[in-house]
Structure 1
Amino acid sequence: MKKTILVLLSVLGFAMGAHASSGGMAWDKAPNKINDMAALQNGAKLFVNYCLSCHSAAFMRYNRLKDIGLTEQQIKDNLLFTTEKVGETMQAAIDPKQAKEWFGGNPPDLTVIARSRAGANGTGADYLYTYMRTFYPDETKATGWNNLVFPNVGMPHVLWELQGLRKPVIEGSLDHGGHVTGWEQITPGTMTPQQYDEAVADLVNYLQWMAEPAQTKRVNLGYFVMAFLALMIFVTWRLNQSYWKDVK
């Protein structure tokens, strides 16, 4: 029952706000672990366990996770919660018809969320990394939570058991030029602050990878093309010199 309530609150959070402003507090730089297979695998596990209850990744198939080093059997044993077929897309556990009836719309798909959240403060990965680390308890909100990056967000802090409860130490007022000077830990989580930051980094990097699984190959191909063009320019220049050397 508690899990069902948490799922519904998470849906409500994303339904109540389509986007966050690129203004406000500065975003932290997300660690780049896009080539770290272990980090991507851990991020996939976190995504399936904490995000897929409410949000689909309709453009990603489970069997594509083999690209980050998982075997088909590992995917079947550890990550298939909403389907029994590895070839299926990642669909949310919640019934879309019920979500639309309860909240007036379905929760957004997260396949390309890391690309769609880029703004003046940084990349989409930076936004997500900061967002998932700046929740704090707020009794004035229906969910009991608020967020520094997305003020008045309706989404609860689904990872709070990992991070524990903490509140920001704010100098002045955020609405009038104030800023956060630190955090006060109220109750500990199952992870240390460093472990939690690393876990969020893994989740964000997985979301970044999922938005474009071929990005590493694309970048590597780009380096090859640039090197090939540089070589051809040199060869062409030398041929041109050889061709015109006897012409006065």
Structure 2
Amino acid sequence: MAREKELSGLRALVTGGTQGIGEAVVGALRAQGAKVLAAARNQGDETELFVGADASTPEGCRTIADAVRDRLGQADILVHVVGGSSAPAGGFAALDDEHWQREIDLNLMSAVRLDRELVPAMIERGSGLVIHVTSIQRQVPLPESTIGYAAAKAALSNYSKALSKEVSPKGVRVMRVSPGWVETSAATAMIGRLAQEADTDTDTARRQLMDSLGGIPYGRPARPEEVADLIAFLASPRAAYLTGAEYVIDGGTVPIA
């Protein structure tokens, strides 16, 4: 039986909201009745509420926060999806200070700055939800290619737990969602590049990438909509008692610690 729209009347901000997981989250929250502002550098196919800004910069975060206040009034739900890596492969020696700072600004400080702008209003009214999208790489980093990204996501997870301890007693829930490999359009393009570089086919390149993660027992990457459905559930009244936890959605990739 179809559920009624559980998020009707709620207002949400989704960063990185015009592609991949973020785009799917915007769609999932709107399907449940929320009014959603999508923030990203590029508008993509977004035709409803959009703010163009670079969340990796202080100026971009201020632009996004101002748009929330101007266009939503306030946010009941913040979903920080924006993230990624532009650092070169080659392990720790290949990354200079500038590379490290970019990884930290995009994957950690974007959330820190926006929370600082928008969470105080949640505390004042005694309700709200913050969801930070982390990554299984905080536990299983790929040192050859994403060492900076993995370290920043580990910091984001730790920060999220601390924030939860501080604001949950004041009525604001803080959750983490930790995806494994999600086959977004960007990931598909990357597989194509890997296949071309290795002079192989895309199925082989996909399998090699899964192997580099230690394998995915479920046999395939996640779809963006599957991650978005988890986030929509965590935003719903059915998850009202959940806070401070991290939900891994990785097809079984991360081994038992």
Q: TM-score, normalised by structure 1?
A: 0.27
Please say which structure displays the higher CA radius of gyration. 1
Larger relative contact order (CA 8 Å, sep ≥ 6): 1
